Amino acid sequence: MICGVPASASEAETAGIFLGAQEAVPVLNTLVELGHLQPSHGTPIETDNSTAHDIHTAQVCMKHSKACDTCYYWIKDRIAQGQFTLFWASGKKNRGDYFTKHHPPAHHLLMRQHYLHTANHVSHM
């Protein structure tokens, strides 16, 4: 759970990356202990926020933000250690973003097939 209110989209994305990675660490450790070796390049984490991506991959410097300190340093260290690989992908491919954006009715009709189950046939008992 994110404590406080993020001051920007990049802080919110950082908190989301942090929470997801924190939940993944025990699972990854368990898999290794069971003999299922993990990729040497790190477990991939996808973000559609280019600012959060660039901050965590040391492509830009972040100004000091108390709200983001713990999340920022922890995930940045895990990426530097090779446990995770953070990559950017366009939000257009992120189906989770569909619910957080305003779309015209035509777009909803196009997306309906991805979210609603429609039966192609009627089964008779």
H-assigned helices in 34-81: 50-56, 69-80
Is 44 a domain residue?
A: yes
Domain count for the chain, please give it: 1
Which residue carries 């959060």 as its tokens? 52
Is 121 a domain residue?
A: no
pLDDT tens for residues 63-99? Answer: 655 555 666 778 888 888 888 888 877 766 666 666 7
Domain that holds residue 50: 9-90
Is 80 a domain residue?
A: yes
Is 52 a domain residue?
A: yes
pLDDT tens for residues 91-106? Answer: 666 666 667 777 888 8
**Statement: the pTM of the whole predicted model exceeds 0.75:** no
**Residues 21 and 84: beta-carbon distance below 8 Å:** yes
Local structure of 34: helix, strand or coil: coil
